[in-house]
Amino acid sequence: MRASDKAYAELRRDIVEWKLPPGTVLGEVEQAERLGVSRTPLREALARLSADGLAVQQRGRGAVVSDVSLDHLDNLFELRRALEVESSRLAARTEHREGFAKLAQRFTEAADVLGRGGPAVALEPYYRLAGELDEAIDEAVDNPYIEQALRGLRTHLARVRRLAQDAPDRLRASAFEHASIAGAIAAGDPELAAAATLLHLSHSLDHIKTHAGS
């Protein structure tokens, strides 16, 4: 693996996981030493992070981890709506929809578990299931341009997610909404899939705004 890739992957992970909180200055020499690479590949990593929007280049002071706040939430969800609603619509139009019925069922089962379970319910499997649905939609849409736009979007969403932790009730509702999306795609109904996605995004945004910082 190239040193620049290593530096990029590590910095990106640290930023997304808030180990490098917004506002942190990423000095070239400092980070180069920390990651054990030279300044040249580290500069390339910083350039890629800037392109991703995870850092902003400040002249004279180097790169700083970009800010993330609730002010960006509406903007982020506007883009999300544009991309994900259309993605669901396109996914429902393709002929590679075999896995979606199975995914819908798994979401329904997950909702049951989340509803039944006590406080000790593991959340990780649910997030992975949601990720699987994203991947399945990407594969069905089969559009590298949309995929790239979604990748960038999801990176930012992962950072924002820290601002509002998910309550079990919300996760259960979310699981049902995801089941609806997967079901609509499996049924090959583009407008139903679009509507289900729109609904999910609306509820998701409402939840974050209501429970932010609490």
The SS3 call for residue 168 is helix
**Least Å from the CB of residue 59 to DNA:** 5
Q: Does 51 bind DNA (CB under 7 A)?
A: no
Q: If binding is defined by CB under 8 A, does position 40 make contact with a copy of itself?
A: yes
Number of alpha carbons in the 13 Å side-chain half-sphere of residue 142: 8
If one asks whether residue 202 binds DNA (CB under 7 A), the answer comes out as no
Helices 124-141 & 73-93, crossing angle to 10 degrees? 60
Q: Which of 19, 21, 23, 61 binds DNA (CB under 7 A)?
A: 61
Residues 204/174, Cβ–Cβ less than 8 Å: yes
Give ∠ CA 166-171-176 in degrees, rounded to 5: 155
**Residue 86 engages a copy of itself in binding (rule: CB under 8 A):** yes
Q: Which CB sits closer to a copy of itself, 79 or 187?
A: 79
Which of residues 9, 51, 158, 199 is near a copy of itself by CB under 8 A? 51
Q: What CA–CA distance (Å, rounded) separates 20 from 195?
A: 37
* Distance between first and last Cα of the chain: 42
Helix, strand, or coil (residue 58)? strand
Stretch of 9-17, 121-129, 145-153, 169-177 contacting a copy of itself, by CB under 8 A: 145-153
Kindly state whether residue 75 participates in binding a copy of itself, applying the rule CB under 8 A: yes
Per CB under 8 A, which region of 26-34, 100-108, 131-139, 147-155 contacts a copy of itself? 147-155
Taking CA atoms, 135 is separated from 2, 92, 124, 130, 156, in Å, by: 27, 14, 17, 9, 17
Does 2 contact DNA by CB under 7 A? yes
Q: Does 123 bind a copy of itself (CB under 8 A)?
A: no
Taking the complex as a whole, the smallest distance from the CB of residue 113 to DNA amounts, in Å, to 44
Angle at 115 between CA 110 and CA 118, to 5 degrees: 110
The CB-of-211 to DNA minimum distance in angstroms stands at 37
Segment near DNA (CB under 7 A); pick from 8-16, 59-67, 84-92, 158-166: 59-67
Residues at the site binding DNA, with contacts judged by CB under 7 A = 2-4, 26-30, 37-41, 43-44, 57, 59-63
